Amino acid sequence: MQVESLSDHNNLLVNQVSLNIADKVILDNVSFALNRGQVLGVLGPNGAGKTSLLKVLSGQREYQGSVTWQQQAICDYSIQALSQQVAVVNQLNDMVFSLSLQHVVRMGLLPHKQLLSRHTKADDQRIQQAIQAVGLTDKVHQEFSKLSGGEQQRALIARALVQGAPLLILDEPVNHLDVYYQHQTLQLLRDLAQQLNVTVVMSLHDINLAAHYCHQLVILDNGKLVASGEPNSVLQPELLTRVFDLPCQVELQHSIPKVTFSPEGKTLLDLSRWSL
C-alpha cells in the first residue's frame, strides 16, 4: 500500500517503512496515514514492532521508506525543530526523580530555550496551565517520585503540553496503572486531540481500551501491518484470532467493539509430565 495519493488533510503519512536490526526484520513495508487531531492506537502481540514503530515516527530510529509530518520528512527536521514538533512520553520506569512535579513539567520548555535563556512570566503561565489541564494543581511542589503512577503519567503529559508539540507519541501510557487511572489518562489524551488539535499516537496492550478511546487503529504482527482503519472495521474476530492465536469474539456495545478472548479448549502448556 502506498500513501502518496492520500489527502493533504492526513498530516502524518507513513509510506512503506521498513526497519532491519542485525539482519532481523523489525518492520516490513508499513504504510498508513493519520489526520491532525486524531488518536491512533498501535496494537499487536509482544515483539510485533510497536515500540520500534514509535521510535521511527519520533525520529529516534533510521529506517527505509518515508515518514512525513505536516508535509515534511521527519528525517529532514533539525533536532531542535523536531523537538518542537514531536513530544515523546515513554513507559514509566523505576528511575527516581528528586525534582518536584513543577520542575519536571518545566523541562518541556527546553526545546524553546537557548542555553542561558531566562524563564519568563509567560513560561510560568504556560507551566501552570499545563498542570491545571492534567488536574495536578494541588501537587505542584510534590516530589515527582512520590506521586502515584497515574499522577506521574499525567505529569509527563503536562511536560509534553508545555513542549507545545502538535504530535504526541506515547509508549504504553497506561501500563501498570489501575483501571481508574487507565481511563483517566486515555480520556485526557482524547480530550487533547479534540480540544487542542494534538495528534496522538500510542501503543496499547488492551484492545478494548483502544477501541473506546482511539479514532484509528493499526495492528502489527511480526513487523507487518495487517490492518488499519477505524475500530469497527479493524477489530474483526478472524483477524484477532489469527494475530493473537486465541479464539476471539467481537460484539458491539453502544457502537463500540467489545473484544473477548476465549482460551477454553486451547492447550497453552503441556503439564502432563509434571507432578507436585
Centre a 10 Å sphere on the Cβ of residue 141 and count the other Cβ atoms it contains. 9
- Alpha-carbon span 269 to 110, nearest angstrom: 50
**β-pair partners for 234:** none
What DSSP line would sit under 206-266, residue for residue? Answer: -HHHHHHH-SEEEEEETTEEEEEE-HHHH--HHHHHHHHTS-EEEEEETTEEEEEE--TT-
Give the predicted TM-score (pTM) of the model.
0.86
What cell numbers appear for 229 in the block?
Answer: 482503519
C-beta neighbour count of 115 within 10 angstroms:
4
pLDDT for the residue 114: 65
Residue 263 has a pLDDT of 76
Indicate which CATH number applies to the domain containing 158.
3.40.50.300
Asked whether residue 5 is assigned to any structural domain, the reply reads no
Residue 276 lies in a domain: no
- pLDDT attached to residue 2: 36
- Give the total number of structural domains in the chain: 1
Regions of the chain short of the pLDDT cut 70: 1-10, 92-97, 114-117, 264-272, 275-276
258 pairs with which residues across the strands? 251
Whether residue 258 contacts residue 251, with contact meaning beta carbons closer than 8 Å, is answered with yes
Q: What is the DSSP pairing of strand 216-221 with strand 256-261?
A: unpaired
Please say whether the beta carbons of 180 and 150 come within 8 A.
yes
Let me know if residue 224 belongs to a domain: yes
Residue 261 placed within a domain:
no
Residue-number span of the structural domain to which 107 is assigned: 10-234
Please tell me the distance from the alpha carbon of residue 108 to that of residue 53, in angstroms, as a whole number: 23
Confirm whether 60 is domain-assigned. Answer: yes
Please indicate, yes or no, if residue 159 is contained in any of the structural domains.
yes
Query: CA of 25: how far to CAs of 17, 18, 227, in Å?
Result: 11, 8, 19
For strands 39-43 and 24-35, give the pairing.
Answer: unpaired
Please report the pLDDT score of residue 3 as a whole number: 37
Buried b / exposed e across 50-86, counting CB within 10 Å, b at 16+? bbbbbbbbbbebebeebbbbeeeebeebeeeebbbbb
At 18 the pLDDT is 97
Antiparallel, parallel or unpaired: β 216-221 and 39-43: parallel
Count Cβ atoms below 10 Å from residue 263 Cβ, excluding itself: 10
What is the model's pLDDT at position 149? Answer: 80
**CA quadruple 53, 4, 224, 205: dihedral positive or negative?**
positive
Q: What is the pLDDT of residue 87?
A: 92
Outline where the chain has alpha helix (H).
50-57, 79-85, 101-106, 121-133, 149-163, 179-196, 207-213, 231-234, 237-244
Asked if residue 251 is part of any domain, the answer here is no
Residue 89 lies in a domain: yes
Alpha-carbon span 233 to 240, nearest angstrom: 12
What angle, 0 to 180 degrees and rounded to 10, lies between the N-to-C axes of helices 121-133 and 149-163? 140
